[in-house]
A and B are shown apart, each in its own frame.
Chain A
C-alpha cells in the first residue's frame, strides 16, 4: 500500500525559504520509472503542478517557478524534499506530494496535503 505524507512549517514569513518534506512508504524511489511530484492549491483555487523527480534523479520544474524551486530525493530515507525560495503571500496554498508510477504518467496516489501560509 502506497502512502505519502507532507510535512513542514505551517507559517513562513515573506522572503523566507520554504522547505517541505514528503515521506512515503510502499514503494522505492530507486525502482525504475517511479517519480514523486509536488502540486499546490491556493485556497479556493485550482491545482498547480510544481515539480517532479524520478528514480534516476531526472528533475522537472514548472518554468514559471523554476528559479525558486529545488527538488531532491533521499532514497535511503524514502523522502523527497521541495524548497521554494523568496516566499510571498501569493504562495499561500496547500502543498501536495504525489506518486507517479512511471515517466509521463498521472499521479495515482496523493498525500493529504499540508497548508502553508505566508504572512509577516
Chain B
C-alpha cells in the first residue's frame, strides 16, 4: 500500500491567514492526488483532484500543487467556513489510501 502523511496537524490559524497543508506519498503517485474537506458529522467534500484541478463550485481561494511524492493544499485567505479537517488521497494504485487528516482550527 502507498502510505500518505500530512503536516502539520493540527493547524491553528486566523481568519484571513494564508494556510498551507502538505501531503507526502511513500512512493511516486504522479499527479493522482485529491484533497477533501470534512466538517464534523458530515461527509467529505472533494476540493481538488489531479493535484491541482479545482472541483466545480469550490471557491478559488483553494488551490493545489505538487507531483510525485509531495503535494500542497493552499487556502489563500482563510474564511470562517474553512475551519474543518482536510484529507489527501492518492488514486495512483489500489488501495486508494487517505492521509491521516489535518484539522484546521481557530487560533
Interface residues of chain A, those whose CB is within 8 Å of chain B, are 37, 39, 46-49, 52, 60-64, 96, 104-113
Contact = CB atoms under 8 A, between A and B. Distances in A.
Interface residues of B, number: 24
For A49, A108, A112, which residue has the most chain B Cβ atoms within 10 angstroms?
A49
Given A46-B100, A49-B95, A49-B97, A106 B34 contact: yes
Interface of B: 1, 32, 34, 36, 38, 42-46, 49, 55, 87, 89, 91-92, 94-101
Contact of A110 (B45, B97, B98): B45
B87 A105 contact: no
Contacts of B42: 112
Contacts of A52: 94, 96
Given A104-B32, A104-B91, A49 B44 contact: no
Most chain-B CB neighbours within 10 Å: which of A48, A60, A63, A106? A106
B89 A60 contact: no
Interface centre among B36, B87, B92, B94 (most CB of A within 10 A): B94
28 contacts: A39-B98, A46-B87, A46-B98, A46-B100, A47-B36, A47-B89, A47-B98, A47-B101, A48-B98, A49-B89, A49-B95, A49-B98, A52-B94, A52-B96, A60-B94, A60-B95, A61-B95, A63-B1, A104-B91, A105-B49, A105-B91, A106-B91, A108-B49, A108-B55, A111-B43, A112-B42, A112-B43, A113-B43
For A39, A64, A107, A113, which residue has the most chain B Cβ atoms within 10 angstroms?
A107
A65 to B, nearest CB: 9
A105 B89 CA distance: 10
Contact of A63 (B55, B87, B95, B101): B95
Contacts of B36: 47
A15 to B, nearest CB: 25
A112 B39 CA distance: 12
A37 B89 CA distance: 14
A108 B46 contact: yes
Most central of B55, B98, B100 by chain A CB within 10 Å: B98
